[in-house]
Structure 1
Amino acid sequence: MSAAASGGTVAPTVVAVVSEELFAEFFSGEDAERLQAVAAGLGGSFVRVDRLSDAELAEARIVITSWGVGPFDAAVLASLPKLELIAHTGATIKPFATDALFDRGVVVTQAGAGMARPVAEVSLTFTLALLHRVPEMHNALRADDGWYDADAVGVQREILGTPIAVIGASRTGRAYLELIRALGAEPLLVDPTLDAAAAAGLGAELVTLDEALRRAQIVAVHAPTLPETHHLIGRRELALLRDGAGLVNTARSWLVDEAALIQELERGRLSAAIDVFDEEPFAADSPFRSLPGVLVTPHRAAGTSQGRLRQGRIVVDEVEAFAEGRTLTHTISRDQLSSMA
């Protein structure tokens, strides 16, 4: 719904700064109607705009954001004198969250929880592909008119009984744990915030990072982006992996030393399946475009239709709760920004 479509002369109290295409992906007809009802309950209207500058914001109390929105600096906040809540359809709020925003006491919430399942499913897809040597065989068959070389491809494995290291018991890490456990893997969990009993409750054995890397056939990265997790998997850590092991990264490239990983992949000692990169999009001559043991996707692990609608539903639930004075579930504080990419 555009500003013109919803507008009349009633000033907007709820504004969605979301493209028309993304709005349709995030919000079902029912959820869009719920946003209109919230706006009416606040004495105004609901509008969707492409840019904040496209709307009259003097009465806006709630702003819904998506990717590409600019920072809420002093100038933007001056145009939003009644702003109380920002509800983000994505996960990280770093691109727009400012000290000025938090200084004003604006509540910020996000819908990252809606992404956990699709990202976990992609991580599982990657895991199975690496275990069964799909990238090597796929690339070998497309390279020429021959057949694949079994010795060059490497040993194919089932997930049943296979040790898989999960680095980080994040929302996505836990969703991934649930999936690999259901298929009979032997999960090894690395997370300094948990004890052995908590890990056992998740169906995993708590181990140190070094032990996980030495024992695992697949290492799946799901840790937060903190200063101490930068290049958590570096040259030393990659050297600990057994020959033929695979690395799965659907989290952030921050966590893995990309240059060191490329060196190992060029040697053919490891395989990898990756959705996140230091440079996006990566260059035309990037090694990721030609390495035989690598499966790559363009940072789209969370992009399912169900996941998008789940994110939108989370946003609307939070907006309704805020308008009704109830406790919000997915708020983000200033202190939590350091763990976001």
Structure 2
Amino acid sequence: MRALLAMPAGLQHRMFTASQLSRLRELAEIDTGRTVPDLSAAEDAELAEVEVLLTGWGSGPVDAAALARLPRLRAIVHTAGTVRGIVTDAVWERGDLTVTSATEANAVPVAEFTLAQILLAGKRTLAQEHAYRRDHRPPTSIAASEIGNHGAVVGLVGASRIGVLVAEHLRSFDVEVLITDPFASAEEVTALGATKVEPEELYARSDVVSLHAPDVPSTRGLVSRGLLALLRDGTTFVNTARPALVDLDALRDEVVSGRIAAVLDVHDDLADDDPLWNAPRASITPHLAGSQGNELHRMGEAALEEVRRLRAGEPPRFPVDGGRRDVSA
């Protein structure tokens, strides 16, 4: 089975360990020492033999022109999350290609990061650390009854793959979990140890609200000024999903005023003078929740498993449905 690393130069060494690359060579006929970032620049003779493309962040689109030169192509194994921008309509129209993604593997560190931020929010760490740095003594402005995770209410906006993982993690803690998602049934939410509620109830009752909805047209601006206004004073809002889902002006107003706290791991480019940078109750991180460093090897392992299944004639573990290819949260 001939395979090709259709990704930016050097990316294979970030996604796979040396051992994993060795196993890849055992599973397929592939040169793991080189990549082909641009399929249009590849030789016709090489592409004519390729059965599997391994793609990743920064890979070029597999369009109709590329497919015309890939007559034996059976599958596109994506080592990252969403395949948007790489898998074009031409792939789905061909009808006989398998597409897989490592989104499930990437969901693991996002859920871990989110869990950590939820628990830290229960301790009111942003407000307490700021006051401690300023006054050099334990803060007295926050009532003891407002601090802690015992009996706290955590609201999850979206029962996506990450939202489900977070809910499962939270079952180990003494917290109440609320979930709002129009596509999840009450029975499905109950099975996660949570309660399904409407958005207004979730925002009004939660001590922490964590966003886990996909970035699709229907969710743009999902977190509105009106919903943010329902948050009680001191609530923490966590966004590891997508910035387009949130009314940034409204969130800025609430956080800069000090009424609520926010953990923003995803955000549009903020101007250098944006007041959020210096807001005491804002944590702004450079998209750290997703796979970093050695966590990338988990995604590489997921891709290896898909290649193994292809070789063995087994169905893929995490196929991408053409009708839902933009859903990655």
Please, what TM-score do these two structures have when normalized by structure 1? 0.86
Q: Structure 1, residues 161-205: CA drift from partner, whole Å, max 9, x if none?
A: 101111112221111112222121111111222332222211111
* Residue correspondences, number: 324
Aligned pair in 2 of structure 1 residues 167, 69: CA closer, same or farther (>3 Å)? same
1:6 alignment counterpart: none
**Larger displacement relative to structure 2 (97-106 or 58-67):** 97-106
Alignment-mate amino acid for residue 279 of structure 2: L
1:153-302 matches, within 5 Å, as 156-279=146-269, 282-302=270-290
1:124-139 matches, within 5 Å, as 124-139=115-130
Q: CA deviation at 1:340?
A: 4.2
Alignment-mate amino acid for residue 321 of structure 2: S
Q: Percent identity?
A: 34
Q: CA deviation at 1:232?
A: 1.3
Q: Which structure 2 segments of 5+ residues have no match?
A: none
CA distance in 2 between partners of 1:120 and 1:219 (Å): 14
Q: Is the 8 A contact 2:10 2:35 kept in 1?
A: no
Q: Which structure 1 segments of 5+ residues have no match?
A: 1-11
1:339 alignment counterpart: 327
Q: Is the 8 A contact 2:12 2:32 kept in 1?
A: no
Q: Does 1:322 align with 2:313?
A: no
Give the alignment's Cα RMSD to 1 decimal.
2.5
2:75 alignment counterpart: 85
Q: Is the 8 A contact 2:164 2:192 kept in 1?
A: yes
1:29 to 18, 33, 42: 18
CA distance in 1 between partners of 2:293 and 2:312 (Å): 29
Aligned pair in 2 of structure 1 residues 316, 78: CA closer, same or farther (>3 Å)? same
1:94 to 71, 78, 84: 84
2:105 alignment counterpart: 114
1:27-106 matches, within 5 Å, as 27-40=16-29, 48-49=34-35, 51-52=37-38, 53=41, 56-105=46-95, 106=97
Q: Is the 8 A contact 1:59 1:82 kept in 2?
A: yes
**Larger displacement relative to structure 2 (155-164 or 110-119):** 155-164
Aligned pair in 2 of structure 1 residues 54, 291: CA closer, same or farther (>3 Å)? farther
1:7 alignment counterpart: none
CA distance in 1 between partners of 2:31 and 2:259 (Å): 59
CA distance in 2 between partners of 1:153 and 1:292 (Å): 18
